[in-house]
């Protein structure tokens, strides 16, 4: 069993209500850790914003700093959440926090060792000393532990099995076995090679994804998400089933800047689910509409969540090109959700209700979103780097937020938004790092090709349609329990 996860979008860190049954000492420690995570998240954000304008260090040093910061911030956040737990039993009260603390220490030691020995490790990547093997094991343990604490059991089990397969897969029987690799070779690719395994997609996280997450986090803190809800109300007034359409439209618009289904639920669900229940939708239907609509947030361009970045890396195409090609499918998805809502409303006999739209509020907030979004898209289409485009979009959003009148954010809200973006980026980086180890195993051992060949060639035959059907099957099955990125890594390599 896992502790209460703090998924991407867990930038709500520090806002959790304190249960009266929590031991005071544990509560104080949790509060202190949450504040520490917010401070470190803010510093982490500032660091990446500075790095947009000049690499003061070699790239490998920057990526090691990113890994170190992500590991520490995610570890502190996971430890704080475990201390907040009110589950009974010594496992949740003492063992889980103690284990996370040990992993945090091991991770800090391992990343510090790597940072100090970058030149030697880069030069002698395949000639690891025994101490290097130990450090690599410590780093793997920390990443796996924080993946479990942040993203849950399923992802952790998949990544752990992949790593074990890389080390010991030669002992399996039949076609599933690989040729076997020396443990030093495996560790050089998984943990200590600096350009593979855990480091495989660190550049993707540091140079492409991170500031996008900050941009998305600011949408909530500077109140821009209220604009999306008003637009959803306006569309809902024109269509039967109107009170459900703020969830659909709001999720689509929020998805353009967050690319995150969980964060999408947090931003829209707190408003739309009570609204739908009040006008006749059952709790189950209201939750289902919000969940399905928010899930589409991760396929709504331009950000589209972690999956699109990994797809672009696999296909070796510019991220913005892949994102643009996802526009029509994303629109069709939300049209489908809207049609489903329409027929659900009719089948339940829910009367059409008109909602008051605050057009003045929408007019005050629209420039902040529209102009900053235009800056983001304009720079991306002109082939500027993703971090460069995200930085100027953030700066534009913050500058325009001053003119929002009553919705103008305070300095505290802005800083908290930047800090929460840093925490979200760090937590997502942990998933990216774990996915890198999974992808490296799949790539070196050819496991995905083996699995695909066994299914398609021996069972279904070979042609393009079969390949698409097999891919669809795996996507649906894996998607029931895993984040998009991990599901794609497992099948994407075989179909590229």
Residues 454, 456: Cα–Cα separation, whole Å: 6
Cβ pair 158, 488 in contact under 8 A:
no
> Who wins on pLDDT, 415 or 194?
415
Residue 455 predicted with pLDDT over 60: no
For the chain, the first-to-last Cα distance in angstroms comes to 35
The whole-chain average pLDDT of the chain stands at 81
Contacts of 177 (CB under 8 A, 6+ apart): 169, 170, 171
Residue 407 predicted with pLDDT over 60: yes
Q: Which pLDDT tens digit goes with each residue over 385-394?
A: 888 899 999 9
Tokens of 26: 């544990």
pTM (2 d.p.): 0.80
Q: Which pLDDT tens digit goes with each residue over 67-102?
A: 999 999 999 999 999 988 777 777 777 888 999 999
Q: Which pLDDT tens digit goes with each residue over 124-135?
A: 766 788 898 999
**Any idea of the CA torsion for 312, 316, 318, 321, to the nearest 10 degrees?**
-70
Q: Which pLDDT tens digit goes with each residue over 183-213?
A: 888 888 887 877 777 888 888 889 888 998 8
Cβ pair 214, 45 in contact under 8 A:
yes
Structure confidence at residue 464 (pLDDT): 67
Structure confidence at residue 400 (pLDDT): 93
Determine the average pLDDT of the residues in 204-231: 85
Half-sphere exposure of residue 394: CA atoms within 13 angstroms, side-chain side: 27
**Exposed, middle or buried: residue 237 (CB in 10 Å: 0-12, 13-18, 19+)?**
middle
Cβ pair 334, 195 in contact under 8 A:
no
Task: Work out the pLDDT band at 316, boundaries 50, 70, 90.
Answer: confident
């Amino acid at each position: 069993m896992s502790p209460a996860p703090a998924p991407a979008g867990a930038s709500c860190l520090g806002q959790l209500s304190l249960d009266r049954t929590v031991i005071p000492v544990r509560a104080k420690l949790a509060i202190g850790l949450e504040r520490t995570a917010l401070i470190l998240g803010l510093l982490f954000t500032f660091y990446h914003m500075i790095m947009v304008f000049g690499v003061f260090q070699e790239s490998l040093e920057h990526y090691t700093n990113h890994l170190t910061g992500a590991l520490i911030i995610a570890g502190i956040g996971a430890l704080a959440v475990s201390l907040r737990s009110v589950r009974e039993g010594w496992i949740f009260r003492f063992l889980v926090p103690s284990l996370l603390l040990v992993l945090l220490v091991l991770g800090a030691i391992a990343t510090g060792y790597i940072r100090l020995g970058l030149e030697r490790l880069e030069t002698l990547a395949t000639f690891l000393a025994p101490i290097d093997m130990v450090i690599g094991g410590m780093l793997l343990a920390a990443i796996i532990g924080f993946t479990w604490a942040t993203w849950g059991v399923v992802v952790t089990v998949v990544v752990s099995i992949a790593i074990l397969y890389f080390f010991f897969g030669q002992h399996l029987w039949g076609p599933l076995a690989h040729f076997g690799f020396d443990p030093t070779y495996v560790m050089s690719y998984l943990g200590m090679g600096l350009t593979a395994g855990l480091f495989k997609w660190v550049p993707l996280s540091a140079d492409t994804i991170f500031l996008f997450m900050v941009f998305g986090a600011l949408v909530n803190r500077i109140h821009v998400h209220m604009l999306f809800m008003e637009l959803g109300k306006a569309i809902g007034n024109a269509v039967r089933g109107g009170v459900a359409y703020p969830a659909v439209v709001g999720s689509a618009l929020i998805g353009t800047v967050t690319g995150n289904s969980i964060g999408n639920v947090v931003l829209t669900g707190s408003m739309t689910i009570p609204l739908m229940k009040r006008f006749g939708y059952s709790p189950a239907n209201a939750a289902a509409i919000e969940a399905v609509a928010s899930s589409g947030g991760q396929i709504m361009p331009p950000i589209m969540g972690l999956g699109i970045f990994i797809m672009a890396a696999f296909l070796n195409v510019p991220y913005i090109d892949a994102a643009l090609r996802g526009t029509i499918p994303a629109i069709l998805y939300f049209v489908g959700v809207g049609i489903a809502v329409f027929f659900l409303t009719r089948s339940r006999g829910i009367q059409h209700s008109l909602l008051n739209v605050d057009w003045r509020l929408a007019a005050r907030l629209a420039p902040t979103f529209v102009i900053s979004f235009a800056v983001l898209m304009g720079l991306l289409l002109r082939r500027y780097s993703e971090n460069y485009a995200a930085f100027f979009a953030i700066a534009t959003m913050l500058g325009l937020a001053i003119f929002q009148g009553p919705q103008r954010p305070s300095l505290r809200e802005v800083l908290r938004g930047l800090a929460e973006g840093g925490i979200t980026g760090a937590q997502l980086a942990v998933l990216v790092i774990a996915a890198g180890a999974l992808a490296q195993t799949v790539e070196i051992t050819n496991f995905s090709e083996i699995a695909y060949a066994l299914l398609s060639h021996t069972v279904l035959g070979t042609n393009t349609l079969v390949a698409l059907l097999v891919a669809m099957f795996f996507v649906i099955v894996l998607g029931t329990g895993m984040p998009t990125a991990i599901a794609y890594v497992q099948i994407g390599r075989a179909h590229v």
